[in-house]
Chain A
Amino acid sequence: MVDYTALLPEGLLIVTAAIVLLAGLFITQKKILGYITLVGLLASLGLILKDWNLTATFDSAPFYGAIVVDPFSQIFGAMFLIVGVLVAIAALKAYGDNPRQDEFYSMMLLATVGMMVVAMSKDLLALFIGFELASISTYALAGFDKRDPKSIEAALKYFLIGGLSSSLMVFGISYIYGLTGSTNIDTIASVFGANPGLAATPAILLAMVMLIAGFGFKMAFVPFHMWAPDTYEGAPSIVSALLAAGSKKMGFAAAFRLFIVGLVAMKVDWYIAFMILAVVTMTVGNILAVVQTSVKRMLAYSSIAHAGYIAVVFVVVAYWNAPDSAVNLAVTGGLMHAFSHAIGKAAAFIAVAAIAYMILSKDKVDDPNHVENYDGLGKRAPMTAFLFALLLCSLAGIPPLFGFTSKFVLFLSTIEAGLLGLAIICVLNSALSVYYYAKVVMRMYWGEPKGEAFVESSTYTFVLAIAVIALIVLFFAPGDMVYQWAETAAHAVTGV
């Protein structure tokens, strides 16, 4: 008898989603569904944190080794669930009076399940199913404000480019299956390991490029990123939080699983290709963030820049001279940075939602996200401004926040691998990014207030405070909790 308790977190979410959908048909006080969602997410998160380094395989029916629970899937699961919790609490405020909120919560839960399945996948088909579950749920979420044309436009762009990318991905998977006769990642890796010639065939090149494009869409690598700013800007802010913090990390989960194992087995020089992808992504993201006037759009570009930082992991993994310790450090740093960015970016988008809500309540403006409306926010909404400033500091990588730690470990790995040039590019990019974060902070604290003080929403402030406290605690965490977790996860996925 196989023990399925390791799958309890995902099961719990599916059950919660079903309860929320069903109860939504009968209940009139729909706000309670938000609390049910929150309980489901927290219980699931609790289960994962309890067994953070659990390893369980499911080789027999009905899974046939397609999924595995290991520290890698657990750390990503925790990441998705934390984002889910933050978004769910914010949704209590944002959609507390919305008659369709049951749909919001159930889709959010299913998207989270999809992301978690991707992180657990050992099989390309399972991975694809998880990918699509998360994608389709988030397509609908992006257009959730269906009376707002911008939201609809955002959803449509996301859907169209998403469809294109999914087709490329399946195309790539089909080639890989054709060449190796399997969709299991471990089997694929061993086939490549046994036949070095196979890795050099044009077909496998095509397959790899297709997969990079497919995952790169979610991760928002340049040039597959163009949907991202439009969608993040147009979608409701708390959905943008889910997209930028959750669904983007799903892309990384998939890419880590496939590319790291695949590349290590193939021993092929992909490093220049990834180097160009990473450097172009972070540079384009940062430069475009500098010229944005909308804070929300600036966060979208900063999210692209962060994808570029995490892409450094693939450069180090693909670099033939990198010692094993550097490879592990890079994956560790990548996981840590994904973690810190997930918390920081989710909360930053929620802060934007909170600020927009306050501005719309008092001021007559067209675009509440325009940076000019942030003038003097430090006086008008002291708590929100202070917490938002700290979140931006974490994104910029300023201690004592976890964003510093994760960036430090990530960049350190490039030096360990001997890629000094890349390290310098990363640090310069990071320095450039301080400009646009600091610009917002300066406007909040040195700008002239445009009106009287706001009434700050306690729900939003609570979410932001949790995120900030988490980032500070993780920086000072005794024994580097996340570092060790990420290191264990890195071992699980690199196997060295």
Chain B
Amino acid sequence: MMDPNLTTIDFRMYAHWIVLLPMIGFLLELLIGKYWWRKGGMFATLSIFGSMIISYGCLYNVYVQHLGFWEYSWPWFYDGIVAGFVVDPLSLAMVCMVSFVSFFIHFYAIGYMSHDCAKNVYFAETALFTGSMFGLVLANNLLQLFIFWEMVGVCSYLLIGFWWHKPEAAAAGKKAWMSCAVGDCLFLLGIAMMYTIMVKQGITSEIISFNAIFQNLEHLSHEALFGVSALTIICILFMCGVLGKSAGFPLHVWIPDAMEGPTTVSALIHAATMVTAGVYLIARAFPIFLAAPNALMIVAFMGAFTALYASTLGLVVNDLKRIFAYSTISQLGYMIAILGCGAVLGVASVAYALFHLVAHAFFKALLFLSSGSVLHGIGNIRDIKEMGGLLKGMRWTGYAMLAGALALIAFPLTAGYYSKDRIIEDAYIYATHGGDLGYMVWIFLVLGVILTATYTFRAWYLAMTGEPRSYPAIHPHECGFWMKTTLVVLSFFAIFLGIITGGGKDFWHFLEETFVHETHTATGIYPGLNLHEIAHLGGNTLMHHGAHPPSWVIYLPLLLMIAGLAIATTVYYKNRIDVSKYVKKDNPLYQILWNKYYLDYLFKDIIAEKIIMTVFTFWDVLDRYVIDGVVNLLSWITIQSGQVSRKLQTGIVQNYATAVIFGVSMLMILVIMIRGG
């Protein structure tokens, strides 16, 4: 029986505390965390627990009590920019997932970071990250979203380099920051452009708030630049931000290196939450993408390409965490691809993408935390070639990782099965409506399935079964209470999330209300959107009825998954085929994969060192001799004139009085001259 008082609390009115509590936790942790329980961790964990309560309270209000969506805002900047929070199924799905996963990762970190001497700094930074992530998700306008977007980036940078004394960690932090900065600059440009066209269209209130953009899409779609719809350009610029943050090709290069941070950070930021911010941005701005011609096509293609591309890389990496890093990139590709399919599916694609996002958060956090437990247990060895047979020594960890791996490869009845197969089926429906490129999207996604199954179980078999291949792997030690609890909770959701939500249907129905239902505000109601009309603005036609793909399409992913699993089992469990015959330096295909398609080489050695450095050297010469010369001259003039006029300040009061009379006379003469002339 529910406490009757609880049912009357309207948690939606406290949504801002979801953001504020972790911020307070951050301050407390930073300032006094060191002197409290276990030298850090308490404030951060408790504050996020508080956020979690409010998040689920809001979910209860909206999902069970049907109190309606809620948005509140207050004036922020001149010229009608507002700040505010929006509570709707989309943001609720995110905050509930983020708070839950973040809470349990904090819980796990109490054990995992127990030997670290700067624990309170670690927890302060993760609390700040979590608060910023909430801020990003709940933002009702682009500017606020961008500010929090940058804040999560800063936290990510700080936490990747948390063990800054390791040079690789410091370098990885820098790389993450630089890669994201490329995307973020373009994203900001997109926001500026959106502001400009809104002002140009005479929109004066709530500029760049999502609601104002959505309600005025018809006017905004008239704007064009160089013959291209301005909305399309804006969406492409947004997409650049997404590629940076959500590790899309070609800006994904920072994620594998980001694994140098603590494993809890990899789990929280680089698997479950921050990297999904890009997916969330597309979902939140979905009507804009829908109204922009061709934008969603680009989204679908980039997503599908990333999904396949990253899974090929996952096949050859030997670092346990990096394998999961590539699988993260690949899974994010799936989410972005299905959002792109929204050109045909409408808001349903947002629901599918978000369901995969949530399921992925659970099983990927689980995979990372269990690999963290492996690292913890065998002394920070990350090469799977040096593991083997760990299952004997660490049963909890081993089976938890198995649960995560099964969900990742979409094994029937696990969470990933419901979420990913739905994406592939609907990509086929998109393909039947979307032409050749649509089929390409579908083929990429389908091929990704077989590779995913292979590389995931390659990692699991090599780490957990067979004979130990190094000394520490002979006697691994199992993790303690804090970590075990978290692994069990996350395993439960990785396996059963699909079943709990009725095969995902409950989740999808809830999410499909986003955008199309009205939103309540303190002063009135924002009407729901007619997505069919908006789609027409972008030359898209939405399907009216759910179509069913032929049954072979439905079973194909399952068969491919089993095939991939069989390959992995034959090669890495039964050892029927000796891979070392193929995995050799003189195999060109292996060379390409091993060098990650030479993308790092292109970015660092060619673009960064050759092209940019050449330009910079030239600029440096120009700067040193021409621009500095001018600047120095200016400062010399300034200081000299200061020194001269300083002499006028004699300190003799008669001179001051003379100056007053002089001033009066000059003013008189001046005014009379103006008047006379």
Q: Which residues of A contact B (CB under 8 A)?
A: 156-157, 160-161, 164-165, 168, 200, 202, 205-206, 208-210, 212-213, 216-217, 222-224, 226-227, 229-230, 269-270, 272-273, 276-277, 284, 287-288, 290-291, 409, 412, 432, 478-480, 483
Contact = CB atoms under 8 A, between A and B. Distances in A.
B575 interface: no
A210 B664 CA distance: 7
B117 interface: no
Interface of B: 74-78, 638-639, 641-643, 645-646, 648-649, 651, 653, 655-657, 659-660, 662-664, 666-668, 670-672, 674-675
A291 B75 CA distance: 42
B16 to A, nearest CB: 11
Contact of A157 (B638, B656, B663): B656
A226 B638 contact: no
Nearest to A329: B78
B78 A480 contact: yes
A479 B78 CA distance: 9
B660 A164 contact: yes
Nearest to A217: B660
Contacts of B646: 288, 291
11 contacts: A200-B675, A209-B664, A209-B667, A212-B667, A226-B655, A287-B641, A290-B639, A290-B642, A291-B639, A291-B642, A432-B638
Contacts of A156: 653
B75 A479 contact: yes
A6 B74 CA distance: 31
Contacts of A217: 660
Contacts of A287: 638, 641-642, 645
A208 B638 CA distance: 33
Nearest to A168: B664
* Max chain B C-beta neighbours (<10 A), residue from A165, A168, A202, A287: A287
A270 B671 contact: yes
B642 A226 contact: no
A209 B78 contact: no
Given A273-B674, A287-B638, A290-B639, A161 B657 contact: yes
Contact of B660 (A157, A223, A412): A223
Chain A interface helix/strand/loop/mixed? helix
B653 A272 contact: no
Given A161-B656, A480-B75, A291 B643 contact: yes
Contacts of B638: 287, 290, 432
A160 B671 CA distance: 27
B645 A288 contact: yes
B74 A273 contact: no
Given A291-B642, A480-B77, 19 more contacts: A161-B653, A164-B660, A165-B660, A168-B660, A202-B672, A213-B660, A213-B663, A216-B663, A226-B655, A273-B670, A276-B670, A287-B645, A288-B649, A290-B639, A409-B78, A412-B78, A478-B74, A478-B75, A483-B78
Nearest to A287: B642
Given A156-B653, A209-B668, A223 B662 contact: yes
B642 to A, nearest CB: 4
Contacts of B649: 226, 229-230, 288
Contacts of A409: 78
* 5 closest A-B pairs by CB: A291-B642, A226-B656, A223-B663, A223-B659, A287-B642
Contacts of B74: 478-479
B103 to A, nearest CB: 28
Contacts of B664: 168, 209-210, 213
A215 B68 CA distance: 59
A408 to B, nearest CB: 8
A288 B641 CA distance: 8
A100 B78 CA distance: 48
A291 B636 CA distance: 11
* Max chain A C-beta neighbours (<10 A), residue from B646, B651, B656: B656
Contact of A164 (B78, B651, B657): B657
A202 B75 CA distance: 49
A205 B645 contact: no
Nearest to A276: B670
B667 A273 contact: yes
Contacts of B655: 226
B316 to A, nearest CB: 47
A172 to B, nearest CB: 10
A162 to B, nearest CB: 11
* Max chain A C-beta neighbours (<10 A), residue from B642, B649, B660, B662: B660
Nearest to A153: B651
Contacts of A288: 642, 645-646, 649
A272 B642 contact: no
A205 B660 contact: no
Contacts of B78: 409, 412, 480, 483
Contacts of A290: 638-639, 642
Contacts of A223: 659-660, 662-663, 666
A479 B75 CA distance: 5
* Max chain A C-beta neighbours (<10 A), residue from B666, B671, B675: B671
B657 A272 contact: no
Nearest to B662: A223
Given A157-B656, A209-B664, A478-B75, A272 B645 contact: no
B642 A205 contact: no
Nearest to B77: A480
A276 B667 CA distance: 10
A229 B659 CA distance: 14
Given A156-B653, A224-B660, A226-B659, A269 B674 contact: yes
A214 to B, nearest CB: 10
Contact of A206 (B77, B643, B668): B668
Contacts of A210: 664
B659 A224 contact: yes
Contacts of B643: 291
B48 to A, nearest CB: 24
A205 B656 contact: no
Contacts of A226: 648-649, 655-656, 659-660
Contact of B672 (A160, A205, A230, A272): A205
A93 B649 CA distance: 33
Contacts of B77: 480
Nearest to A159: B653
A284 B642 CA distance: 8
A205 B675 CA distance: 10
Contacts of B651: 230
A209 B667 CA distance: 7
Nearest to A332: B78
B225 to A, nearest CB: 24
Given A205-B668, A213-B660, A217-B660, A157 B674 contact: no
Nearest to A412: B78
* Max chain A C-beta neighbours (<10 A), residue from B77, B643, B649: B649
B670 to A, nearest CB: 5
Nearest to A478: B74
A160 B660 contact: no
Contacts of A208: 671
A205 B671 contact: yes
Contacts of A216: 663
Contacts of B667: 209, 212-213, 273, 277
B660 A161 contact: yes
Nearest to A208: B671
Nearest to B663: A223
A209 B661 CA distance: 11
A179 B675 CA distance: 19
A114 to B, nearest CB: 22
Contacts of B670: 272-273, 276
A347 B86 CA distance: 39
A363 to B, nearest CB: 26
A270 B659 CA distance: 21
A290 B645 CA distance: 12
A459 B642 CA distance: 36
A273 B671 contact: yes
Given A288-B642, A291-B639, A160 B653 contact: yes
